[in-house]
Amino acid sequence: MEAIVNAVTDRNFQIALLVSLASIATIFTILEPLLVKDKLKERMKSVGNYRENLRQKQRESLAKKSKGIRNTSPQGAVKELVESLKLLEVFDADAARKKLMMAGFRGQGPVFTFMTARLGLPFVVAIIVGVYVYLLDGFELDSFGRLLATFGGFFIGFYLPNIYISNVVAKRQQKVQEAWPDALDLLLICVESGMSIEAAFQKVGDEVGPNCPELAEELGLTTAELSYLQERKQAYINLAERTGLDSVKGVVTALVQSEKYGTPLGQSLRVMAKESRDLRMQEAEKKAAALPPKLTVPMIGFFLPVLFAVILGPAIMSIMGLE
């Protein structure tokens, strides 16, 4: 015990202990920044990995949902025919691609199919009309009339693909327009609750999917593009181009301004949701106002004769009985 006390109270021992502690503190001070890991860098790396996984899952889900001609790649004779005849340049492939996107047909496959249809359908329809008027003696026309009917079938076949795509676009836009005000209300609720715009689009798409799968598909594509496109602005612009609706373009403009200038999005969405509901109500009122003129002909042709028969029938029968 005395040896320990003597060692502790020894001045040389105390100096050596202090020098050792100072050396240890110096070494720790030098090595401490090298030993501590950058937690922020690790978190950002984990966020990046999670984002990449989300991108991959989104692409896989979109690939599974897309079926048939709506998202195919050109293959075989169709591709060779279009490329050999340079139909993409003749028929303005960019305009056709935009129109097909508005109809819900995406990828190069539908573009090549559309070009092939525009080339082949005129001849097919002309052959069918020619067989009908020449071999089956349809319409009982003279030779010049048959020739005109054949040429008419050729021109009708040329415009049939455009007519079909235009009808599909109109029906799709009508469905999206009907569901858009409700989707805006849901988007406003999600944004004001603190959700990011990607999560809000995903949530709204899940909610409106059972009633309007077309709008849910567009919102899902926008969510995927927001994840992997370099410029988020381009994802919003693509949404406006795919739908082709003025109400959607207004919301896209608000989203782009919010991304660029940091303007509040909630107020803009509230005003646009109200405008969309008013526009939907105006469309309903317009259809209701157009209903009486449309019912005039059926009433004259079907209701009034029956009404006259019911009213005048007993009187006519009584008169015939008196005679």
SS3 245: coil
In which residue are the tokens 């009808």 written?
167
Q: In terms of pTM, does the model score above 0.75?
A: no
Residue 2: pLDDT over 50? yes
What is the number of domains present in the chain? 3
The DSSP result for 142-157, as a single string, is -HHHHHHHHHHHHHHH
- C-beta separation of 226 from 205 below 8 A: no
Q: Which pLDDT tens digit goes with each residue over 152-189? A: 888 888 888 888 988 999 999 888 888 888 888 888 88
- Residue 71: inside a domain: no
Q: List 71's β-bridge partners, or say none.
A: 106
CA distance 275 to 286: 16
- Co-location of 117 and 50 in the same domain: no
- Co-location of 187 and 279 in the same domain: yes
How far CA 231 is from CA of 16, 51, 259, 313, in Å, comes to 64, 16, 10, 77
| Confidence bin at 306 (pLDDT 50/70/90) | confident
SS3 168: helix
- Residue 258: inside a domain: yes
Number of residues in the chain: 323
- Co-location of 255 and 180 in the same domain: yes
- Residue 216: inside a domain: yes
- Residue 132: inside a domain: yes
- Co-location of 197 and 278 in the same domain: yes
Q: Which pLDDT tens digit goes with each residue over 214-255? A: 888 888 888 888 877 778 888 888 888 888 888 888 888 888
CA distance 165 to 118: 12
- Co-location of 159 and 181 in the same domain: no
- Residue 53: inside a domain: yes
Give the tokens for residue 202: 């995903």
- Residue 293: inside a domain: no
CA distance 154 to 220: 40
- Co-location of 163 and 190 in the same domain: no
Q: Which residue among 127, 144, 167 closes a domain?
A: 167
Residue 85: pLDDT over 70? no
- Co-location of 151 and 191 in the same domain: no
Residue 46: pLDDT over 60? no
- Residue 323: inside a domain: no
Tell me the residue range of the domain where 53 lies: 36-66
